[in-house]
Chain A
Amino acid sequence: MKISRREFIRDGVAAFTVSFAAPAFLNDLALAQGVRSRNLVVVYLSGGNDALNTVVPYQDQFYYSRRPAIAIPAGQLLQIGSDSSGKALGLHPRLAGLRTIFNEGRLAIVQRTGYANSSRSHFQGTDIWGTANPATTSGLGWLGRYLDTLPSPVDALAGWNSTRETPRALIAQRVAVPAIPDARTYSLASPNGAAEALNERNAATRIASNAPGDRPHLSFVNGSLIGALSTLDRVASVNTYAPSLVYPNNGFALALRTVAGSIARGIGTRVYWVQTGGFDTHSAQGNAGGGAYANLMGTYGDGMFAFYQDLRNQGLLNDTLVLQFSEFGRRISENGSQGTDHGAGGVMMAMGGMVRGGLYGTAPSLDPASSNGTLENNGADVRHETDFRAVYARVLENWLGANSAAILGGNFLAGAPAII
């Protein structure tokens, strides 16, 4: 019986098995599994992004009456036209780069994404978006299950996580996705000179190749060790990458620069994970289109735009799909501290050379009247219109060429937005 890392984490008693691929084979393996093939970059806005201030239904009078302090004046918004229900929409003023991408037809915006009975807990919500199953917050992640469909043995760099902790979405059964928060420090130090350092590295690899069946937790940590040791050299090759432009100097943009380097170097990674935090804006979101939330939008939008231009300049845009999500949207009415509390429906975006740009889904009416079916929780929150798993399904089928029903545990393609 094969046991996933996560089940192992939960139950602790089962055997974790990992097949150790010898480092020498890895480049061939990467080639076989598709260097320069399509890759997916998942961008997570952590904390619950305030979708209504990202993509603003600015002709809705309730937008202003329910957000007297934090509403963005209509005149500042970046016009992106109207959705299929005729609602005019504007992007946050700090998303100028995304508006350019939108105008070039390479940005898809999917409004009102989520699921029924949306969790208002960050932790449950993030886990649900990770498992792609609202009924469970544990077990394998949807991207992990995709990685598990790759031919065996799965390359240790098939997934690339640019944060320190492995997100649930990347928890796989057959591969420990490496965490590479900074490629420059992803190397092995030694207290000795070069020859002895090599002896140590070889010894460390052999010591960690032990996978005792009676101590699966030890095998598990050895799996991480081997994962690190066997990927060092390829990750190091990214450090000499010279991007075609200067990225903004923040963690999010620099992570995207590293991803661009990895794509350009043909590392062979299929799924990247990048995230940026601070979206839990309970207080002081800012007024008149400025302040804390504007800074968050600037970080997100400027990073995405730099990445987009860099990939385009390198001729790699058609190989890449960026998919952005957050664990929930926020409450419609602002709270007493000029912030917003946890809500429900949110917004997803997809960006890339093969994306069919445009507006998908319809904006909510923000009228709190009980007859308004686009809201829930007594008119407090946005009700989802598009199941987030429909977006996942479309990406799995039409971009990664995978069987989405097998990975998602059901067919969610019906009515999926045709973003790709």
Chain B
Amino acid sequence: MARGNWPVEHLLRRAGFGASADDLIRFEDASVSVAVDYLVEYDRQPDDVDSKIGQAAYVGITTGNGPFAPYTNIEHARQRWLFRMVHSQRPLQEKMALFWHNHFATAYSKLAGVVSGVQATKMLALKRGELPGPQGQIELFRQFGMGSFQTLLFEVARDPAMIVWLDGRTNFRARPQENFAREIMELFTFGVGNYTESDVYTAARVFTGWNLRLATPGQRNDDPNTYYEFFYNPNQHDINSKGFTFAIYPNGSGTIPARPASEGMQDGIDLIVALARHPETARRLARKLWGFFVSEIHAPEPAFVEAVSREYLLNNTEIRPVIRYILRSPWINDRSRWYTRYAWPVEFVVRSIREIGWNGLSIDTARTPLTNMGQQLFEPPDVAGWSLGPEWFSTGAMLARMNFASQLAANQRFNLSRDAAVARRTPEDLLGFFMNRLSPAPYDSAPYNELLSYLRTGVTWPLSDANLTAKSAGLAKLLVGSSEYQFV
């Protein structure tokens, strides 16, 4: 097993969480187009990753007291998602779930304060069939994340988690609540500059009556067997016509007609369709996808934005053909794009575990470090999502990355030194071994020589067993904690 198929490894970092040892074998001679098919047509791979949780060959979980309950316990839900990122045979499905989680950023803590921690976890992470109730928001992203954006937007608008998060439940006819109305335009679709304040007020009226209710009225909402479900309340819907400054209908009209309350949900559907198909929404999504897949170092190329937004509109807002188009394009595959995207904390953690190893490791080890790096899953800082790119790299967050590298290296020191024993003869051998095991961006000669210098310090070569363990762990920490490793 050796690295060498650099174009495919690059794609696996961008559209997945980096190449595992198995991937390196599987894709040793694969072309880019084979790899893209594998990534994009992920329905061909089994969806059985959750059944591996708890098995010896996989990264561990920590349940504390009681059984593993990722549908009612948010810490367990975080572990399950990280487990999926480490081991899923459908890495792009998890990658897109992460993309949409940041796009429709919804935080557990507010939900828990309103509907109880049990219901908040169900709203975010329940898989169908685990307990009564609709699937959680993250499952919705897994199901619809590669489908039509128009459908996704509709599903999100009536998603119980979103209705609590952006206060749709208090959007009443007599007193419209603007929170969701503003964000569906500012953040979820075409962005600032395409609407006015009056459009915000009007959109709030459009969504009056989009509410939720407890399935078993009167029951305590911390009972895991009850649940909240979407509920359109016609009595709270504003039935008057609603005029926007932008076109709602293909004929150019910006006015949603007055309708009887019983048909009032159509108002929201009309607005969602208009927003999803708006050319500026297409461009804004294209720019976001550029940052997510192509580069954060290079600004989005106008030709890319035009081509991708055209692809999006031609395909009726379907995301899968858009992603396939991007992954096959020279924009992402040109080697000038390699290592030009800043790794998100969860990407950093998952990739480092996949490369360093997980034998005897619990994924829960990453919980506090991820918070210190600035990314707790299901807890984005606000509805705009995380601040990406260089903004991940405050000194405190960088320190947290170095310290996670240290913690992981300490945990895996014996596994590492056993594997590295073949390279104990010279510092160059040992460094070469780790450069093959890990996937940092290339080192310039000065830091490369500093790495060798570190290996020479305080020991004699060939390494004794004790020194092999110490230097393997120390080198793994230095590599994973270096700037070169913070890019994908």
On A, residues with C-beta under 8 Å from B are 5, 8-13, 120-124, 161, 164-166, 176, 178-182, 185-193, 195-196, 199-200, 203-204, 206-208, 210, 212, 215, 217-218, 220-222, 224-225, 227-228, 231-232, 282-283, 335-337, 339, 341-342, 377
Contact = CB atoms under 8 A, between A and B. Distances in A.
A10 B389 CA distance: 10
Contacts of A212: 444
Main secondary structure of the interface of B (DSSP, over half): helix
A207 B61 CA distance: 34
Interface residues of B, number: 67
A55 B139 CA distance: 45
Contacts of A124: 192
A130 to B, nearest CB: 13
B384 interface: yes
Contacts of A188: 399, 402-403, 406
Nearest to A165: B387
B397 interface: yes
B175 A200 contact: no
A186 B403 CA distance: 10
Interface in B211-242: none
Nearest to B375: A164
Given A120-B197, A186-B396, A210-B444, A165 B487 contact: no
Among B186, B399, B400, B470, the one with the most A-chain Cβ atoms within 10 Å of its Cβ is: B399
B254 interface: no
B179 interface: yes
A217 B388 CA distance: 13
Contacts of B247: none
B167 A337 contact: yes
A397 B186 CA distance: 37
A396 B381 CA distance: 30
Given A165-B387, A189-B406, A228-B396, A200 B477 contact: yes
Interface string B260-302: 0000000000000000000000000000000000011111000
A200 B177 contact: no
A179 B454 CA distance: 28
Given A199-B454, A207-B478, A221-B483, A336 B174 contact: yes
B390 A9 contact: yes
A199 B458 contact: yes
B187 to A, nearest CB: 9
Top 8 closest pairs, chain A to chain B, by CB = A336-B175, A337-B170, A179-B394, A191-B410, A203-B454, A179-B396, A221-B483, A191-B473
A279 B457 CA distance: 53
Given A11-B299, A12-B296, A337 B395 contact: no
B53 interface: no
Contacts of B444: 210, 212
Contacts of A336: 170-172, 174-177
Interface stretch (B122-130, B150-158, B445-453): B445-453
20 contacts: A13-B299, A121-B192, A165-B387, A176-B394, A179-B395, A180-B396, A182-B372, A187-B399, A188-B399, A189-B402, A196-B470, A199-B474, A203-B450, A207-B478, A207-B482, A208-B482, A218-B483, A228-B395, A282-B178, A377-B197
A8 B474 contact: no
Contact of A192 (B174, B179, B473): B473
Interface in B471-488: 473-474, 476-478, 481-484, 486-487
Contacts of B397: 164, 179, 224
B409 interface: yes
B384 A123 contact: yes
B115 to A, nearest CB: 13
B413 A191 contact: yes
A164 B396 CA distance: 7
Given A121-B182, A228-B396, A232-B399, 8 more contacts: A161-B394, A165-B381, A192-B474, A203-B457, A210-B444, A221-B483, A225-B483, A228-B399
A283 B164 CA distance: 11
Contact of B406 (A12, A191, A218, A337): A191
B393 interface: yes
A186 B372 CA distance: 10
Contacts of B477: 190-191, 200
Contacts of B69: none
Contacts of B387: 165
A5 B177 CA distance: 38
Contacts of A339: 167, 170
A206 B446 CA distance: 9
A176 B395 contact: yes
B167 A217 contact: no
Contact of B372 (A185, A218, A335): A185
Contact of A203 (B174, B446, B453): B453
Contacts of B402: 188-189, 204, 225, 228
A239 to B, nearest CB: 15
Contacts of B182: 120-121, 342
